[in-house]
Amino acid sequence: MLNRLLKPSNSITKRLFTMMSEKVAVDQPKVAATLVGNVNKKESKKNKLQVSLKTPKGTKDWADTDMVIREAIFSTLSNLFKKHGGVTIDTPVFELKEILAGKYGEDSKLIYDLKDQGGEICSLRYDLTVPFARYVAMNNIQNIKRYHIAKVYRRDQPAMTKGRMREFYQCDFDVAGSYEIMVPDAEILSILVEGLTSLGINDFKIKLNHRKILDGIFQIAGVKDEDVRKISSAVDKLDKSPWEVVKKEITEEKGQSEETANKIGEYVKLNGSLKEVHDILSKDEAILANEKAMSGLSEIATLITYAEAFQIEDFISFDLSLARGLDYYTGLIYEAVTAASAPPTDASELKKKAKTDDDASAYVGVGSIAAGGRYDNLVNMFAEASGKKSTQIPCIGVSFGVERIFSLIKQRAVAAAAIKPTATQVFVMAFGGGKDWTGYLPERMKVAKQLWEAGIETEYVYKSKANPRKQFDAAEKSGCPLAVILGKEEYLENKLRVKRLGQEFAEDDGELVDADKIVEVVQQKLSEINQDGVNDVIRLLKGL
């Protein structure tokens, strides 16, 4: 290009042309590199990793005092399960899709499906019951009491402050095996009552029904067998919607007649104590003439006796509106509810006003905080489907919803505020000065080791010469109530100082004790600090 524009006519011009040509030749790579560099910078900026620092919808991180409370819930329930003879198992967080398919009725649409990985189509587990039944069938187990505490996943609309999430923990206890009618059922209900009361939840009711009675009612009303499960699913919404709305679904969406819906309505509005509703149904001619309903009613009569033996009858409400839409239930069904379970009375209006569908907390209730039922055919279904010998292993279980229970416990604001994020009970410190002061770090370690071996949660500052203020700040941050102090001169005399921490003890210098008695003294002090021998976490859980 430059050669065509410049035509040299003399030696000076030639020399100038040569110089310019050389410069362009030299600069062209620089220019090209600059241009490429600019493009690369733009591409680099364009391709730079950009993420939204948030958890996926319907999930959250747990930390600090929340984790202390949650771990206490897990510990309380697992100890309860062990007390009743439970052994624990663990199953994969995902199952083959065919294992989960067709077990959850209309709720099957909430299952999280995964992409094909190596020729297997899998889904995240929806609950812990179906994986348990698969485990029993796969291992030819004849009887087992098992508990399982693990996460499950549902692609539902979350209500985070109400403990309704897409990823959440369930704490399950199940009994598999052939036993006398209603014996394991009654103990499961007793575990349900004991579990909630041990967590300080006392104002709850166990809504209870029986699938055989409910199926009998549907037969009496004229519902075809193939329509029973979808009608159950509609009736199950009575805890959230009035009868008029449910009736409309039964007739318009589920294709049932007005007469059928009205007959169903006569029964599902019944509720009361076990004895009250049992007596009413025992005098109903249509019920007496229905084989299924009478079979269920006979089992309820047996349950009444056992519930009285376990002293749990006052917690139970026999409620014919409870349907539990899951397909695998065959007998007793139940769920525990509190005043917070129901949605607000103006839920429909609040839903209209909601600015986003990301969280339904404003217009839904907590829902049931524990639930379960009998599923006698699920294990056999898996056994037969896999070509194994037909084996009837009856099962019954209960599942505690940790997130929903946690949301209720957190409402005990004053007690919850007292919970500290660490379990630290004692902070070991050292005070001294002068050129020869080493900070007593190995000595602090030695005292901490003594306390650890005694099972006492203990910390110290990871620094040789830590000034007193920093040591007190670290102790305050941990929230521990007690300090063991190594004074420069006192320690040489085999003495340690034990001091209460907190603003109200700022003027208290503590007590000087013999170093060889430090474990005994600290244990005594901690016993005095924990009111009635109960720490803040237990006080919170028990609602004290």
Share of the chain above pLDDT 70, in %: 87
Write out pLDDT tens, residues 79-102. Answer: 999 999 999 999 999 999 999 988
Mean pLDDT of all residues in the chain? 86
Residue 114 has pLDDT above 80, yes or no: yes
* pTM for this model (two decimals): 0.81
Mean pLDDT, rounded, for 476-493: 93
121 and 68 share a domain? yes
What would the two tokens of residue 414 be? 């004053």
Domain final residue pick, 380, 415, 450: 415
Into how many domains does the chain fold? Answer: 3
Share of the chain above pLDDT 90, in %: 61
The answer to whether position 203 is within a domain reads yes
What would the two tokens of residue 360 be? 């339904």
In the annotated binding site, the residues are 127-129, 154, 170, 174, 324, 328-329
The answer to whether position 350 is within a domain reads yes
pLDDT given for residue 14 in this prediction = 42
CB 111 within 8 A of CB 124: yes
What would the two tokens of residue 134 be? 């698969």
pLDDT given for residue 41 in this prediction = 57
The answer to whether position 239 is within a domain reads yes
What's the DSSP call for residue 249? Answer: I
Helices (H), 105-210: 129-138, 183-198
pLDDT given for residue 364 in this prediction = 75
Residue 30 has pLDDT above 80, yes or no: no
What would the two tokens of residue 471 be? 């040591």
The rounded distance, in Å, linking the Cα atoms of 153 and 112 is 7
In the annotated binding site for L-histidine, the residues are 127-129, 154, 170, 174, 324, 328-329
The answer to whether position 538 is within a domain reads no
The answer to whether position 543 is within a domain reads no
Residue 29 has pLDDT above 80, yes or no: no
Q: Is 310 left (phi over 0), alpha (psi -120 to 50) or beta?
A: alpha
What's the DSSP call for residue 315? Answer: G
273 and 198 share a domain? yes
Write out pLDDT tens, residues 489-509. Answer: 999 999 999 999 988 898 888
The answer to whether position 397 is within a domain reads yes
433 and 411 share a domain? no
pLDDT given for residue 482 in this prediction = 95
Q: Around Cβ 130, how many Cβ atoms within 10 Å?
A: 22
Write out pLDDT tens, residues 355-365. Answer: 666 777 777 77
The rounded distance, in Å, linking the Cα atoms of 288 and 38 is 87
Helices (H), 363-456: 378-385, 402-409, 413-417, 441-453
What would the two tokens of residue 127 be? 């609950």
**First and final C-alpha spacing in the chain:** 92
139 and 238 share a domain? yes
CB 125 within 8 A of CB 153: yes
The answer to whether position 445 is within a domain reads yes
pLDDT given for residue 8 in this prediction = 41
317 and 285 share a domain? yes
Band (15; pLDDT cuts 50, 70, 90): very low
Residue 27 has pLDDT above 70, yes or no: no
Q: Of the ranges 27-36, 51-60, 534-543, which one carries the lowest mean pLDDT score?
A: 27-36
503 and 370 share a domain? no
What would the two tokens of residue 259 be? 């007469």
pLDDT given for residue 6 in this prediction = 35
438 and 318 share a domain? no
pLDDT given for residue 40 in this prediction = 60
What would the two tokens of residue 513 be? 């004790």
pLDDT given for residue 44 in this prediction = 56
365 and 485 share a domain? no
pLDDT given for residue 410 in this prediction = 85
Q: Given strand 205-210, what is the order of strands in its sheet?
A: 87-88, 144-153, 167-176, 395-401, 370-374, 332-337, 205-210, 316-319, 271-272
Q: Is 285 exposed, middle or buried (0-12, 13-18, 19+ CB in 10 A)?
A: exposed
Q: Of the ranges 122-136, 240-254, 382-396, which one carries the lowest mean pLDDT score?
A: 382-396
DSSP calls for 269-294: T-EE-HHHHHHHHHT-HHHHT-HHHH
Q: 21: domain range?
A: 2-46
Domain final residue pick, 415, 443, 467: 415
235 and 141 share a domain? yes
The rounded distance, in Å, linking the Cα atoms of 250 and 260 is 9
Band (164; pLDDT cuts 50, 70, 90): confident
CB 175 within 8 A of CB 376: no
pLDDT given for residue 28 in this prediction = 54
pLDDT given for residue 176 in this prediction = 97
Which among 201, 187, 211 is positioned nearest to 377, based on CA atoms?
Answer: 211
The rounded distance, in Å, linking the Cα atoms of 360 and 291 is 42
The answer to whether position 544 is within a domain reads no
Question: Of all helices (H) and strands (E), which one includes residue 205?
Answer: strand 205-210
460 and 374 share a domain? no
Write out pLDDT tens, residues 293-352. Answer: 999 999 999 999 999 999 999 999 999 999 886 788 999 999 999 987 777 766 667 777
Q: Is 261 left (phi over 0), alpha (psi -120 to 50) or beta?
A: alpha
29 and 103 share a domain? no
Q: Given strand 482-487, what is the order of strands in its sheet?
A: 458-460, 426-431, 482-487, 495-500, 511-514
pLDDT given for residue 530 in this prediction = 74
What would the two tokens of residue 486 be? 């190594």
CATH of the domain at 161: 3.30.930.10
Domain final residue pick, 392, 415, 438: 415
The rounded distance, in Å, linking the Cα atoms of 96 and 114 is 10
Task: Pick the more confident residue, 27 or 406.
Answer: 406
CATH of the domain at 490: 3.40.50.800
Q: Of the ranges 29-38, 376-385, 478-487, which one carries the lowest mean pLDDT score?
A: 29-38
Residue 402 has pLDDT above 50, yes or no: yes
CB 290 within 8 A of CB 219: yes
69 and 37 share a domain? no
pLDDT given for residue 47 in this prediction = 65
pLDDT given for residue 422 in this prediction = 79
pLDDT given for residue 371 in this prediction = 95
